[in-house]
A = this chain, B = another copy of it.
Amino acid sequence: MESGITFDFENIRTDAVGPEHGVSEKELARLSEPLAHGHERLAQLRESGEVAFFDLPYDKENVAQVKQVANEAAGQFGAVLVLGIGGSALGSIALRSALCHPLYNELPPARRNGPRLYIEDNVDPVRLKAVFDLIEPAKTLFVVISKSGTTVETLAQFLFIRSLLDGDLRNNVIVVTDAGPSTLRGIGESECRATLEVPAGVGGRFSVLSPVGLLPAALAGIDIDALLAGAAQADRIRCSSPSAEDNDAYMAAAVEYILYQKAKRISVMMPYATGLVEITDWYRQIWAESLGKTSDVGPTPVRATGVTDQHSQVQLYREGPNDKVICFLGVQHFQEEVPIPPAWESSEAIGYIGGHSFNQLIEYERIATTLALTDAQRPNYTITLPELNAYSVGQLLYMLEIKAAISGELYGVNAFDQPGVEAGKALSYGLMGRKHYERAKQWVMNKQAGRDETSVDEMVDEMK
């Protein structure tokens, strides 16, 4: 048994939930060839550099640069504000939530390992204004992250903070973008404090272990070496085999693929640890964008929270349509042991609770929910982290990335593109008046006036 996170697939087997809703040995055996084939294809994509997230755990150069930039900033700023959206924000939100104090930004400075860390991944004007009730621009380090250099939300935020800084970006702004020439890269290099790179071949949703996720993490005092060491262990040992029996990431992909054919079109991730809740949103992106590609292919990822959602979603999960596969996340040893002190011991409704601990309670509830769902033939599996630390989170993120990549192979879709978002982007550009998108604006105007129009895809093709 390798050290690190463990996967328990028992409750997904036909033995546990029956043939209609479970996975049999035979069904798994049938996937061994597609898995081996996918394994090989991914190895080729890795080898050629076309898909480069695989090697991020070993990217010494970028890590060194992240550390240098973080070290140079140490002690100089009261807050870090990350401007990014989608893959440029979800990774650092997940890392902050898992590896910083649960109320990190509210702690007094002496109790934090770094400056406060805000990650602003939206363009709501009220929220944006609100952040500046709490930070002083001159004492804030802004990290502007856009892989393409063209993300309208992030660039709009950048214009806003540029104005707050009176146009002087030299001390307060770091840019993270890809290597190709772009206006953003040019601004980063000529006007800003530093410019870090999103390595070629690393897609936004696979970029958490690049400077995109590492720089905010390092600034907040997270041990990025341990994070990468966990990911490297996942790569070298946990995910090296083409066989699901020896590769939990492949097994997770395989069982979810089999169950998708059995009408389990919804993929729930339900952590029993508050620190892991934001990882579900990171997972939602990697799962939806990588696999949501055709009218037949695209499991819908759902964010749930244990134990909270026992009082919200479990009614549906247990008695509603059997259309889900549920992945529970658990933590074996929490960093705190918190006893429940006894009182009112003669009360039948309360007396029995004291003397236990919250650690026991959350574990018992996870076990109870798992059993209650299995008993109702609802397929589920559990990933357990020995502790919530940088090493195990690195393992988890990397294995979930591998799971998404190999799932693309099983479903026969390209896990590394996202053509379906282009239409909406083109329409936004049109409405904002971007050059060359005049036709998109006209399209919107015509649609709103009820006039006949082509499909948006045809219109986008026209513009090319």
Question: Whole-angstrom distance from the CB of A99 to the nearest CB of chain B?
Answer: 11
Question: Whole-angstrom distance from the CB of A185 to the nearest CB of chain B?
Answer: 10
Chain B hits for A435, CB < 8 A: 348, 352
Contacts A285-B312, A300-B302, A362-B124 hold; do A319 and B163 have CB atoms under 8 A apart? no
How many copies of this chain?
Answer: 2
Question: Which one, B312, B338, B368, B425, contacts A424 given CB within 8 A?
Answer: B368
Q: How far is the CA of A367 from the CA of B425 in the complex (A)?
A: 11
Question: Which one, B105, B307, B371, contacts A153 given CB within 8 A?
Answer: B307
Question: Which one, B266, B321, B457, contacts A295 given CB within 8 A?
Answer: B321
Chain B CB within 10 Å, residue with most, of A89, A90, A159, A265: A159
Flag if A336 contacts B125 (CB, 8 Å): yes
A463 at the interface (CB under 8 A from B): no
Chain B hits for A447, CB < 8 A: 371
Residue of B nearest to A435 (CB): B348
Q: How far is the CA of A419 from the CA of B356 in the complex (A)?
A: 27
A297 at the interface (CB under 8 A from B): yes
Question: Whole-angstrom distance from the CB of A135 to the nearest CB of chain B?
Answer: 10
Stretch at the interface among A55-63, A126-134, A219-227, A391-399: A126-134
A322 at the interface (CB under 8 A from B): yes
Question: Which one, B121, B388, B432, contacts A126 given CB within 8 A?
Answer: B388
Question: Whole-angstrom distance from the CB of A257 to the nearest CB of chain B?
Answer: 15
Q: How far is the CA of A425 from the CA of B354 in the complex (A)?
A: 17
Flag if A126 contacts B349 (CB, 8 Å): no
Chain B hits for A388, CB < 8 A: 126
A123 at the interface (CB under 8 A from B): yes
Contacts A338-B128, A358-B128 hold; do A184 and B323 have CB atoms under 8 A apart? no
Stretch at the interface among A35-43, A233-241, A286-294: A286-294
Q: How far is the CA of A310 from the CA of B102 in the complex (A)?
A: 27
Chain B hits for A192, CB < 8 A: none
Question: Which one, B111, B265, B356, contacts A133 given CB within 8 A?
Answer: B111
Chain B hits for A425, CB < 8 A: 368
Question: Which one, B167, B336, B364, B427, contacts A343 given CB within 8 A?
Answer: B167
Stretch at the interface among A44-52, A194-202, A273-281: A273-281
Contacts A103-B133, A308-B85, A319-B420 hold; do A433 and B352 have CB atoms under 8 A apart? yes
B-contact bits for A339-364, CB 8 A (1 contact / 0 none):
01111100111101110111111101
Chain B hits for A107, CB < 8 A: 133-134
Flag if B318 contacts A265 (CB, 8 Å): no
Q: How far is the CA of A364 from the CA of B433 in the complex (A)?
A: 11
Chain B hits for A340, CB < 8 A: 156, 159-160
Contacts A319-B419, A456-B375 hold; do A162 and B324 have CB atoms under 8 A apart? no
Flag if A371 contacts B427 (CB, 8 Å): yes
Chain B CB within 10 Å, residue with most, of A183, A291, A368, A455: A368
Flag if B123 contacts A350 (CB, 8 Å): no
A431 at the interface (CB under 8 A from B): yes
Residue of B nearest to A419 (CB): B319
Chain B hits for A111, CB < 8 A: 133
Question: Which one, B153, B427, B455, contacts A361 given CB within 8 A?
Answer: B153
7 shortest interchain CB distances as A-B pairs: A298-B320, A86-B311, A292-B316, A292-B320, A368-B427, A319-B420, A285-B312
22 contacts between A and B (CB under 8 A): A105-B106, A106-B106, A107-B134, A123-B365, A124-B273, A153-B307, A155-B349, A156-B358, A159-B340, A160-B338, A163-B343, A184-B350, A265-B265, A294-B319, A298-B316, A300-B324, A318-B421, A348-B436, A352-B433, A352-B434, A364-B432, A368-B431
